[in-house]
Amino acid sequence: MGKLTAEMKEFIEDVKLCVAATADSNGMPNASFKGTIQVLDDENLVFADIFSAKTRKNLQENNKICIVVADHKKMVGYQFKGEAELLDQGELYDKVCSAVEGLNLNLPKPTYVVKIKVTEIYPAPAAS
């Protein structure tokens, strides 16, 4: 099981952008930028599904996900692998929707919130 350190949490909050990699039931990969990545706690990440039709479809077929958060200027980052859960109601959904609204970017309400149970963590030098 992956435990996020204080350093990892701070890194994610500072970078605020990640790439989410998923695959459908046939193994066809998809990678998508996510600008709403947040740390939920020591074992979970979360992002808003706003314009993520392919990511959503893949996660409905295959809940495995990999999140890469990197600082391209420093050439450092992390790779978080885990299992995703799609949420369309409840306290966490409402909290993430409020955070998205607070960005003042005139974005639509998230279709889902993707909660990721982190199972593996790897340092991810952006150059490799």
Judged on CB neighbours under 10 Å (0-12, 13-18, 19+), 112 is buried
What domains sit in the chain, N to C, each tagged with a CATH number?
6-123 (2.30.110.10)
To the nearest whole number, what is the mean pLDDT of the chain?
91
DSSP letter (8 states) at residue 35: S
Summarize pLDDT for 93-121 with one digit per residue, the tens.
999 988 888 777 888 888 899 999 999 99
What DSSP string runs through 56-101?
HHHHHH--EEEEEEEETTTTEEEEEEEEEEEESSSHHHHHHHHHHH
DSSP letter (8 states) at residue 122: E
Residues 6+ positions from 44 with CB-CB distance below 8 Å: 115, 116, 117, 118
Q: Is the pLDDT of residue 126 over 60?
A: no
* pTM for the structure as a whole: 0.89
Q: Looking at residue 1, what is its pLDDT? A: 59
Task: Show the tokens assigned to 59.
Answer: 């996660």
CA 8 to chain centre: 14
